[in-house]
Chain A
Amino acid sequence: DAGITQSPRHKVTETGTPVTLRCHQTENHRYMYWYRQDPGHGLRLIHYSYGVKDTDKGEVSDGYSVSRSKTEDFLLTLESATSSQTSVYFCATSTTGTDTEAFFGQGTRLTVV
């Protein structure tokens, strides 16, 4: 593994509660990404970051926010969890963007009940 740690690995939460997922990297990669993976949809980009405090939206950003206060940490927050946000969430990093390899974490399995 490329030094990417996601926490927690599993979480069950109730509808309407806020949830924060953490991604920590030791590679000093500039770019960090949050994806969700669902059957029939593959990996879809939620938000990404191209530097400390620099973030942008992906294709499925509604209901999610992110923060990156340090190079090594990228947080994903579900502001008020809904059942449609039940998914497997992956963090990824890369050095310069899509012209280089993206390294993925092990994933966080989130269930919203």
Chain B
Amino acid sequence: QKEVEQDPGPLSVPEGAIVSLNCTYSNSAFQYFMWYRQYSRKGPELLMYTYSSGNKEDGRFTAQVDKSSKYISLFIRDSQPSDSATYLCAMGAGTASKLTFGTGTRLQVTL
């Protein structure tokens, strides 16, 4: 079993839809939870960063962490074609530790 599980998709939604992306994990030492966005043939870039449990909102994006269930989510409201990308969840246990990535979910937002 992988330490971090993420549905690879692809996920296709119409413009304006609410998108929900999820990851589950098994390592209870993870404290830092991130979502990276990766456009085709580009390097990943940080989208959202959360420490421990709770919610964090940034514009159309909301990240949720439920440590008791070992489950994290990224919600995208009013999705746009420019949101079409692969979304990678990533987790770490703290300073000097290593990030563990999910396999990524490919999202396609159609007009």
Whether B88 is near chain A, meaning CB under 8 Å from some CB there, is yes
Chain B, residue nearest A94 (CB)? B99
- Residues of chain A touching chain B, judged by Cβ–Cβ distance below 8 Å, are 4, 33, 35, 40-45, 48, 50, 58, 90, 92, 96-99, 101-107
Contact B43 A98 (CB under 8 A): no
In the complex, chain A residues whose CB is within 8 Å of the CB of B96: 50, 96-98
Chain B nearest Cβ from A26, distance in angstroms: 15
Contact A98 B98 (CB under 8 A): yes
Chain A nearest Cβ from B52, distance in angstroms: 11
- Which of A33, A35, A40, A92 touches B103 (beta carbons < 8 Å)? A40
Contact B94 A99 (CB under 8 A): yes
- Residues of chain B touching chain A, judged by Cβ–Cβ distance below 8 Å, are 6, 8, 31-32, 34, 41-46, 49, 51, 88, 90-104
In the complex, chain B residues whose CB is within 8 Å of the CB of A45: 98-100
In the complex, chain A residues whose CB is within 8 Å of the CB of B32: 98-99
In the complex, chain B residues whose CB is within 8 Å of the CB of A101: 34, 46, 49
What are 30 A-B pairs at a CB distance below 8 A? A33-B98, A40-B8, A40-B103, A42-B101, A42-B102, A42-B104, A43-B44, A43-B88, A44-B101, A48-B98, A90-B44, A96-B95, A97-B92, A97-B94, A97-B95, A97-B96, A97-B97, A98-B32, A98-B91, A98-B92, A98-B94, A99-B31, A99-B51, A99-B92, A99-B95, A101-B49, A102-B99, A104-B45, A106-B43, A107-B43
User: CA of A97 to CA of B41 in the docked complex: distance in angstroms?
Assistant: 25
Chain A nearest Cβ from B54, distance in angstroms: 16
Q: Known pairs A97-B96, A98-B93, A99-B31; list 17 more (Cβ under 8 Å).
A: A4-B43, A35-B101, A43-B44, A45-B98, A50-B96, A90-B44, A96-B95, A96-B96, A97-B94, A97-B95, A98-B95, A98-B97, A99-B32, A99-B92, A103-B46, A106-B42, A107-B41
Shortest 9 CB-CB contacts between residues of A and residues of B: A98-B92, A104-B43, A42-B103, A43-B101, A97-B95, A97-B96, A101-B46, A42-B101, A98-B99
